[in-house]
Amino acid sequence: MILCFDIGGTAIKPAEAHDEQRIVTGARIPTPTHDFGAFIAVLQRAIETASIRPDGLAFSVAGVVDAETGLATVANIPCLTGRRLEADLARALGLPVVLANDADCFALAEATIGAGRDHAVVFGLILGTGVGGGVVVRGQLINSGGFAGEIGHGPVAPRQFDDLDVTLPAFVCGCGLHGCLDALCSARGMERLHNHLHRTPDADSRAIVSAWVQGDADACRTVSVWLAALSGPLALVQNVLGAGIIVAGGGLASEPKLIAALDIAVRARCLQRFVRPLVVPAQCAGEPGLIGAAILGLRTLGQSTQ
């Protein structure tokens, strides 16, 4: 059995993975964000209370790990940043450890048992609090550290939309750059965009999308700009990867009509002309981060107990 953890800034979600079809989730645990000792103690208690002694540990983490140095950057959990996290966890907990970025785990879950299971190349797109992504090729992550597929960061967000008569500033991003898709096309980015266009500082992304579905003029203008801003860079990613499918997850992806509109906009900008949907909603039920961590752990640690 592999004991899996989805590590977020608010909660740690555990699960026991006996095989890829039998993943049993447990109760959420508040995340100690500033005390590494307290963080390890929480994990140790989970190990001690597991149904059986795990053969290894697999982690889905909302952060990135530099493949060359092993150093982690986890913005919402400062006690993990700057550590050689995989090695530190293995040493502290006394078990083999495998660790991957949460968007990579999402992509692996969808490529294995979700919407991408019949495709050789899968791009997993996160549209939630942030914009992120992961790439799976022939069932394998091409990089589990969180950098490959990270479409959200880099100054590539378009600012001039002549056909919509809109010019945008280069919004500052949490990564420190200006003009990232994360700052414009995430849930918070959509709210920032709506406020810029319509002077509505209390806008909520869910309300904006709901109003767009109902045909509200202001919401329609915001979503039109959002679609134009995201679809071009996403089409370029598709041209580079040649993905068979782009699977969208996260809060914004919960509205099927929004993903259907994004699919149409992306396909219109791709070099390859698809006659079928390319951008589709995620299909994995439950916690895709945990599912992806479980799959990675079972495969990497060579354990597939029945």
Tell me, yes or no, if the two domains 2-102+287-300 and 115-281 fold the same way. yes
Reported residue count of the chain is 306
Closest residue by Cα to residue 18 from 43, 60, 54, 67: 54
pLDDT, residue 215, reads: 97
Q: Where are the domains of the chain?
A: 2-102+287-300, 115-281
Q: How many CB atoms lie within 10 A of CB 233?
A: 20
Residue 136 · residue 121 · CB < 8 Å: yes
2-102+287-300 is classed CATH 3.30.420.40: yes
If you average pLDDT over each of 63-77, 250-264, 278-292, which comes out highest? 250-264
Compute the average pLDDT of residues 154-165: 93
Class of domain 115-281: alpha beta
Compute the average pLDDT of residues 149-172: 93
pLDDT, residue 129, reads: 85
Q: Which one-letter amino acid corresponds to residue 213?
A: V
Residue in the structure block whose two tokens are 């993905």: 243
Residue 302 confidence class, pLDDT cut points 50, 70, 90:
low
pLDDT, residue 281, reads: 96
pTM: 0.90
pLDDT, residue 175, reads: 82
For residue range 261-294, what is the model confidence (pLDDT) as tens digits?
999 999 999 999 999 999 999 998 778 889 999 9
pLDDT, residue 106, reads: 94
62-66, 187-191, 240-244, 290-294: lowest mean pLDDT where? Answer: 62-66
Compute the average pLDDT of residues 147-170: 92
pLDDT, residue 66, reads: 87
Q: Rounded distance, CA 101 to CA 94, Å?
A: 22
Checking if the pLDDT of 20 tops 90, the result is: no
Checking if the pLDDT of 303 tops 60, the result is: no
**% of the chain exceeding 90 in pLDDT:** 78
Residue in the structure block whose two tokens are 């995620």: 282
Q: What is the DSSP letter of 117?
A: T
pLDDT, residue 144, reads: 64
Checking if the pLDDT of 143 tops 80, the result is: no
Compute the average pLDDT of residues 70-74: 89
pLDDT, residue 149, reads: 87
